[in-house]
A and B are shown apart, each in its own frame.
Chain A
Amino acid sequence: MTGPVRLTAAVLTIGLLMTAAIELQRVRDRLYPVATIEDSALYLTSSATARRVALEYDSVLADLYWIRAIQYFGGTRRMVEAGETITDPNRRQYDALFPLLDLTTSLDPRFNLAYRFGAIFLSEPPPRGPGRPDLAIRLLEKGLAERPDRWEYLQDIGFVHYWWRQDYKTAAEWFRRASEVPGAPWWLKSLAATTLAEGGDRPMSRAMWEAIRESAEIEWLRHDAERHLAQLRALDEIDALQPVVDRVAAQAAQRRLEWPDVVRAAGWPGVPADPSGTPYDIDERGRVQVSRSSPLWPISLEPKRLNAVPPPS
C-alpha cells in the first residue's frame, strides 16, 4: 500500500470505529438508562480545610462551589416544582445549600453576590427554598464581618427581618444602621422610619421591592424583585376581584362558582388574568387566587400589617 492509501485507510478505520463506539453507547443508554445521581456531597465540609487544600487556587474553588450552590438550589427547586421523586430526604429541605454557600464565602470572603443571592435562596419558603431566614441572616452577618462598608448587607438583613420574620422593629433598626454607612443611598433613612411606622403595609412592601430592584446588581436580582412586585399587583387585583366574585356567589349559592358565571354577571370581556397573563383561579371556597400554572405561584404570605386589628373570630 502506498502512503496516501494507507493514511486514507487509517482515517476511515478510525471513523468507522468511532461511529461504532458512539452507536454502541447510544444502544446501551437506551437499554440501560443511566440513573440520575442526586449528588449533594460537599466533598469538603470544613472551610478551614478547604482553604488549605486549595493552596493558591481558593478563588477558583470558591467559584466551583458557587456554581454548585446555584445548580443545587435551582435543580432541587425544579425537581420539587415538577413533582419529581427526590430520594434523598435531606435534599427536599435543601440541606446542603447553606454549607455550600458557607464554603463559597469562606474560600472567597469577598464574594459579594454569594452573600446576597445566598440570603435570598435561604429565605425562600418551601417548596421554593429551605425557608431558613435565620441562616440567611447568619450568612449576611458573615459578609458584614468581612466587609463592614457594604450597606447592602445591612439592608438585606433588614429585609429578611421585614419580609420573612415580620419583625418590623428589628428591620427598621437594620435599615437605620445601613443608612449610616458612608455611601448609603438617602432613601434608607426614610425606609427605616416608614418601616417603624407602617410595617406590613402593602405600599410599604412595594416600596421595599422597588428599592431592591433599583439597587439590584445583576439581572437575576432585578427579575426576582420584579416578580415580587408582580405578585403584589396580583394581590391588589385579587382584592378588587373578590367582592365581585362574592356577590355572584351569593346569587348562585347552590353550586360551585366558575369563571364564566362571574364573567357573564359582571359583563367582563373575559377571564381576568394576573400580571403574568395567566388567568386567575377560583377555589372550592370561592376565593380568587393565582393559578398554580402561573409563574407568580406561590405567592408568599404577605407580611402582617403593623398594629393590624385582628379579624373577628
Chain B
Amino acid sequence: MRPVALMAVNVFRESVRDKVLYNLVFFAVILIAATYLIGQLTAGQDIKIIKDLGLAATSVFGLFIAVFIGIGLVSKEVERRSIYALLAKPIERHQIVLGKYLGLVGTLAVNLSIMAAALYLMLAYMRWIAGEGTVKALEAGALDPAMLKAIALIFVELSLVTAIALFFSTFSTPILSATLTFGFFVAGHFSGDLRNFDQIVDSPTAVRLARGLYWVLPNLAPFDVKAQVVHGQHVSAGYMVLTTAYGAAYTAALLVAAMVIFSRRDFK
C-alpha cells in the first residue's frame, strides 16, 4: 500500500502546486459577495439562498476539479512522457491508477471540508445579523448540521465523477475525456427518464435498450439532497448508506476497469 499512498500524496502536492486550492478564494468571494448582494436584491429568504448557493458552488467547484484534474491524471503523464520514468520505478500499474485516484479524492475532500467550514461561518454571520423573525421563519436552522449530509453525498458523487474522468483518461485524449465525463454527468441526471421510457415509446426494443442504459449509466440524481436539507426535510440514514454504497460500488467498478485498461496499455 505504501506506493499507493506515496502516489496519492504526490497527486495532492501537485494539485496544490497547480494552485487548485485557489478555487477556495473564489468560493469565499462568491459567498461574501452573495451575502451582501442578496440582502439588496430579495425580500427575506437570505439564509435559504446562501445555503442553496453555497451547496451549489461546492458542487460546481468540486465538479470542475474532478473533471479537469481527473482527465489529466494519466494523460498528462503520457503527454509529458514522464510515464516512462514512473513505470521504471518499483510500482505496479494498477497502483499508479489507484494512487492517482486517491490523491485527487483527497484533494476534493480537503476542498469540500474547507468550503463547508466557510459556508457554516458565513451562515453563522447571517444568523447573527438576521432578525429573530427571519430565523424563526426558516424551515431548517441556519446552522443545521443536516447540511453535512448534502455535502457528504456531493463528495460521494464527485468521487464517482473523478473515477469516470480517470477511466476515460486511461485510453483517451484530455478533450475527449472531458467531453465524455461531462456527458456522463448530464446523462446521470436524466437516467430516471430512461426508466420510464415505456410511457412515451411503444417499441419494446427501445424500452429494453433504455432500461438497460438506466441500469448501466451512473444514476447521479439520488446524490442530490441539497433542496431537502435546505427545506429541513429528513434524509434518512438508510438512504445515505444505500446511496453511498451505490456510489462506492460504481466507483470501484470504474477503477478496476481503468486499472485493467492502463495495465494492458502499450506505451512504446
Contacts and interface: CB of A to CB of B under 8 A. Distances in A.
Contact of B56 (A52, A59, A71): A59
A113 interface: yes
A70 B227 contact: no
Nearest to B59: A56
Interface of A: 52, 55-60, 62-63, 66-67, 70-71, 108, 110, 112-113, 117, 216-220, 222
Contacts of A113: 44-45, 137
B198 interface: no
Contacts of A60: 52-53, 56
Q: Which 6 A-B pairs have the closest CB atoms?
A: A217-B137, A218-B44, A56-B224, A60-B56, A59-B52, A220-B43
A220 B189 contact: no
A263 to B, nearest CB: 40
Nearest to B49: A63
A90 to B, nearest CB: 23
29 contacts: A56-B224, A56-B226, A57-B56, A58-B227, A59-B52, A59-B56, A63-B49, A63-B52, A63-B53, A66-B42, A67-B38, A67-B49, A70-B41, A70-B43, A71-B41, A110-B227, A110-B231, A110-B233, A112-B139, A113-B44, A113-B45, A216-B133, A217-B44, A218-B43, A218-B44, A218-B133, A218-B134, A219-B133, A220-B44
> What secondary structure prevails in chain A residues at the interface with B?
helix
A102 B55 CA distance: 24
Interface in B48-74: 48-49, 52-53, 55-56, 59-60
B41 A117 contact: no
B41 A67 contact: yes
B201 to A, nearest CB: 18
Contacts of B137: 113, 217-218
B221 interface: yes
Contacts of B227: 58-59, 108, 110
A94 B226 CA distance: 32
Interface in B29-51: 38, 41-45, 48-49
A159 to B, nearest CB: 18
Contacts of B41: 67, 70-71
Nearest to A112: B139
Contacts of A108: 227
Contacts of A70: 41-43
B220 interface: yes
A222 B131 CA distance: 13
Nearest to B50: A63
B186 interface: yes
Interface residues of B, number: 33
A55 B63 CA distance: 13
A108 B41 CA distance: 19
B181 to A, nearest CB: 14
Nearest to B56: A60
Contacts of A52: 190
A117 B223 CA distance: 31
Contacts of A110: 139, 227, 231, 233
Interface in B184-229: 185-186, 189-190, 220-221, 223-224, 226-227
B133 A59 contact: no
Nearest to B136: A217
Contacts of B233: 110
Contact of B133 (A56, A66, A71, A222): A222
B37 to A, nearest CB: 9
Contacts of A55: 185-186, 189
A87 B135 CA distance: 41
A59 B48 CA distance: 10
A56 B190 CA distance: 10
Nearest to B38: A67
Contacts of A217: 44, 133, 136-137
Contacts of A112: 139
A53 to B, nearest CB: 10
A67 B223 CA distance: 27
Nearest to B225: A56
B178 to A, nearest CB: 17
Contacts of B108: none
A218 B131 CA distance: 9
Given A57-B56, A217-B44, 7 more contacts: A56-B226, A59-B227, A60-B53, A60-B56, A63-B53, A110-B139, A220-B43
Contact of A117 (B43, B139, B220): B43
A66 B136 CA distance: 21
A113 B230 CA distance: 14
Contacts of B44: 113, 117, 217-220
Contacts of B59: 56-57
Nearest to B137: A217
Nearest to B37: A67
